[in-house]
Amino acid sequence: MTLRLWHRQSLMTTQLAELPELHQMMRQTCRDYAQKELAPIAAQLDKDHKFPAKQVKELGAMGVMAVEVPESLGGAGMDYLAYCLAVEELSRGCASTGVIVSVNNSLYLGPILKFGTEEQKKQWITPFTTGERVGCFALSEPGNGSDAGAASTLAQQEGDEWVLSGTKAWITNCWDASATVVFATTDKSLKHKGISAFLVPMPHPGLSLGKKEDKLGIRASSTANIILEDCHIPLGNMLGERGMGFKIAMQTLDSGRLGIAAQALGIAQAALDCAADYAHKRTAFGAPIGKLQAIQFKLADMALAIESARLLTWRAAMLRDAKKPFTKEAAMAKLAASEAATFVSHQAIQVLGGMGYVTDMPAERHYRDARITEIYEGTSEIQRLVIANNILKEYQQ
Amino acid sequence: MHRSSEVKHVASYLNTRGCECFGQPCESHCPVLTDRTIHVQLKTFIKIRVKPDRTGVVTDGVKHSMNPFCEIAVEEAIKLKEKKLVKEVVAVSCGPQQVQETIRTALAMGADRGIHVEVSGKDYETLGPLQVSKIFAALAKKEQADLIILGKQAIDDDCNQTGQMTAALLDWPQGTFASEMTLEADKLKVVREVDGGLETIKIKLPAVVTADLRLNTPRYATLPNIMKAKKKKIANVKPADLGVDVCSRLEVLKVDEPPQRQAGVKVETVDDLVGKLKEAGRV
């Protein structure tokens, strides 16, 4: 490595240890909001499966629903590191709110910001920056999740319109969304190179929603199928070029998985908060259980898992902000953070014992919320494939 | 004297110290008058500890944040600016380097610029309402402020003196414990929360107001405003530049934790209870 590269790497490492003042302030405001407005209602939102509309509007007013969107389009104009910090802090208060924010930022606004025309940006971005409206991302289908290239939803051109038909599955936010980015096949013979992306308003004739899934966790965010039957949209609603859909999806997910990594970190942190607090208060064998090595080892492992994943997440975000390749690093971050979330929340219940199993304490909700982070926006298995492919390329003979 | 339409500055003076927000204790710069006990509130994560030499509480390495009543004061100032009743909001804080963070939070809420009055080390430990109000009075004259809004008191020392002293030094009217304030021409209508209920007064500008809990709900700093805060200026000033001597006229004799809670005594009958109370001289 050249001296300059080493110097730049070491600068990044220093920066990782101590965030810039702007980011610290931003993190603090999100933390304050999460502690005061989200944490007190999270359990009830989970019980009621209720979309936090009021909070989403307030977050919109704070600029959190469109962190990376430039100010000219109504966003906060901050970088991806700031966005990851925001999602982590909000998820620490309420994991559902975290994913609502993440999907709107990364999966909906992200691709339009990157691939949209100026006209499309004005129409499909600006109204979605205020928290009044949220968007969603429709890639998965009942027949394919990880196998994204096998999209069976079709888009056929009829005159000056596209007609979409097919079913999309597992769409986060869809019952509360006002628009969606949909991926459909325009040229079946080209396989994954024949997929294109489209912008569809919601509600819209020809677009209907399946029943809300009754999920294990993140229950305040809605998940359902989107059914397209003879859904007509103007030609101008194609996002990017014809056949670019798969590329758009993959690039969007590269960034999106950092949002999910951040969400997983927030859940893990909340679980650690719960366990550490309990370790101080609960006494057994004549002393607080925090004095017992068995508990101490658990807390140490939990904290280590979170910090490691956090640094991976920050590094990937900083690479993205520096416009450097970050696919491998993003996959590592998402994998590490989601596995940390499931590990930490599992151990948190263990530390709490019986209390961890009942709804009086939030540990059980963190456990339920954590589980999905290893599945959506690229399963842990897919992340491993992405990392391995990148490693093998690096070592190519 | 300025008309309300020409009100130039609303100086929102921040109590610099920490506050017990989310269990983080704060630093007192108001010396205790006698051997008054410092009220220690046990919070979830951080325990406040008295220094071994009993001259104060431990503040090293403890996170400080804006006094909650000062947050309310800043919010009120910004609301006045949004209503176009004032032209500029200046956030001021006295203390060491770290108070700049607090000033920046005020800027992120919407204040236009900040002034950091540098006081550190021993001077800071003995800084109290009298010195602070002298500093504020000097700044108010220098900046030609028309309105000063402070928090009614700091939640670490509960002095509740700075606002009143500042007004006296400037010979300005004061509206303290404000739960409502309205600018009407060149007069300020202030509703004060007092022991007997609510008192409404009208005071002429320039004036000093201290904010009470119900004056407003402070906003969260928005991301765009945090970005803007980066570009806003914080001027550095020393007390000597303002002709203020920060030497303290008070000496802390001692600081103690509140007495440990004693175990109670169980009694069998009401007669026993009355007997015990009489014994203790309570009845």
Q: Residue A14 has what pLDDT?
A: 52
With beta carbons under 8 A apart, name residues in chain B contacting A73.
none
Regarding the domain delimited by A252-396, which CATH topology (the fold level of the hierarchy) does it fall under? Answer: Butyryl-CoA Dehydrogenase, subunit A; domain 3 (1.20.140)
The model's confidence at residue A3, banded by pLDDT at 50, 70 and 90, is very low
What's the pLDDT score for residue B3?
34
| Mean pLDDT on A112-140 | 96
Catalytic residue among A329, A374, A377, A381: A377
pLDDT (average), residues A296-323: 97
Give per-residue burial for A164-199: e unless 16+ CB within 10 Å, then b.
Answer: bbbbbbbbbbbbbbbbbbbbbbbeeeeebebbbbbb
Contacts of B146 (CB under 8 A, 6+ apart): B2, B7, B8, B9, B10, B86, B205, B206
- For the question of an ipTM over 0.95, the answer is no
- A339 forms beta bridges with none
| Range A14-22, long-range pairs (CB < 8 A, 24+ positions) | A15/A318, A16/A311, A16/A314, A16/A315, A16/A318, A19/A81, A19/A85, A21/B101, A21/B104, A21/B230, A22/A78, A22/A82, A22/B226, A22/B227, A22/B230
* Ranges B52-66, B101-115, B136-150, B188-202: which has the least confidence: B52-66
What is the pLDDT at residue B31?
23
B221 chain-A contacts, CB cut-off 8 A = 25, 29, 62
Q: Flag if A29 and B108 touch (Cβ within 8 Å).
A: yes
- Return the exposure string of A318-336: e unless at least 16 CB atoms fall within 10 Å of the residue's CB, then b: bbbbeeeebbbbbbbbbbb
Domain CATH for B138: 3.40.50.620
Cβ contact (<8 Å) for B104 and A32?
no
pTM: 0.84
Say how many domains are in chain B.
1
pLDDT band for position B186 (50/70/90)? Answer: confident
Q: Which residues of B touch A67 (CB under 8 A)?
A: 223
- Among B109, B226, B228, B230, pick the best mutation site for testing chain A contact (most A Cβ within 10 A): B226
C-beta of residue B115 within 8 angstroms of C-beta of residue B239: no
Residue B282 inside a domain? The answer is no
Q: Which of A379-393, B52-66, B104-118, B229-243 has the lowest mean pLDDT?
A: B52-66
DSSP 8-state symbol, A175 = G
pLDDT of B18 reads 34
B254-278 residue pLDDT tens: 888 888 888 888 889 999 999 989 9
Contact B95, B154 (CB under 8 A): no
The Cα B176–Cα B170 span in angstroms is 15
Nearest by CB to B223, which of A58, A67, A277?
Answer: A67
> Number of A:B CB contacts under 8 A?
48
Per-window interface: B 5-64 vs A, CB < 8 A: 22, 44-45
Q: Which CATH superfamily is domain A21-134 in?
A: Acyl-CoA dehydrogenase/oxidase, N-terminal domain (1.10.540.10)
The per-residue b/e assignment along B82-107, b for 16 or more CB within 10 angstroms, e otherwise, is eeeebbbbbbbbbbbeebbbbbbbbb
Mean pLDDT calculated for residue range A373-393 = 96
Instruction: Give pLDDT, residue B21.
Output: 32
Candidates A62, A72, A79, partner chain B, best to mutate (most B CBs within 10 A): A62
Enumerate the domain spans of chain A: 21-134, 136-245, 252-396
Q: Given pLDDT bands bounded at 50, 70 and 90, which one contains residue B108?
A: very high
Active site (annotated) includes residue A213: no
The second-level CATH assignment, the architecture, of A136-245 is: Beta Barrel (2.40)
* B229–A62 C-beta distance less than 8 A: no
Confirm whether B221 is domain-assigned.
Answer: yes
Cα distances (Å, whole numbers) of residue A317 to A140, A247, A332: 25, 20, 12
- B 191-230 → A contacts, CB under 8 A: 220-224, 226-227, 229-230
Backbone angles phi, psi at B81, to 5 degrees: -70, -40
As given in the structure block, the two tokens for residue B238 are: 């020393």
Q: Does A78 touch chain B (CB under 8 A)?
A: yes
From A137, A17, A24, select the one nearest A89 (Cα to Cα): A24
B102 to chain A: nearest residue by CA? A25
For residues B140 and B168, what is the distance between their CA atoms, to the nearest angstrom?
A: 13
Q: Which residues of B touch A68 (CB under 8 A)?
A: none
Domain that holds residue B104: 37-242
Helix (H) or strand (E) holding B115: strand B113-118
Cβ atoms of A228 and A164 closer than 8 Å: yes
Q: Which residues of A252-261 are buried (b: 16+ CB within 10 A; e: fewer)?
A: bbbbbbbbbb
**Mind listing the pLDDT tens digit for each residue in A225-243?**
999 999 999 999 999 999 9
Enumerate the residues of chain A whose CB falls inside 8 A of the CB of residue B101. Answer: 21
Span A247-306, pLDDT tens digits:
999 999 999 999 999 999 999 999 999 999 999 999 999 999 999 999 999 999 999 999
Select from A29, A55, A83 the residue whose CB has the most chain B CBs within 10 Å, as the one to mutate to test that interface.
A29
Arithmetic mean of pLDDT over chain B: 82
In a domain, B160, yes or no: yes
Angle CA(A96)–CA(A132)–CA(A29) in degrees, nearest 5?
60
- Which among B44, B45, B223 has the least Cβ separation from residue A26? B223
Confidence of residue B37 (pLDDT cuts 50, 70, 90): very low
**Is B5 among the domain residues?**
no
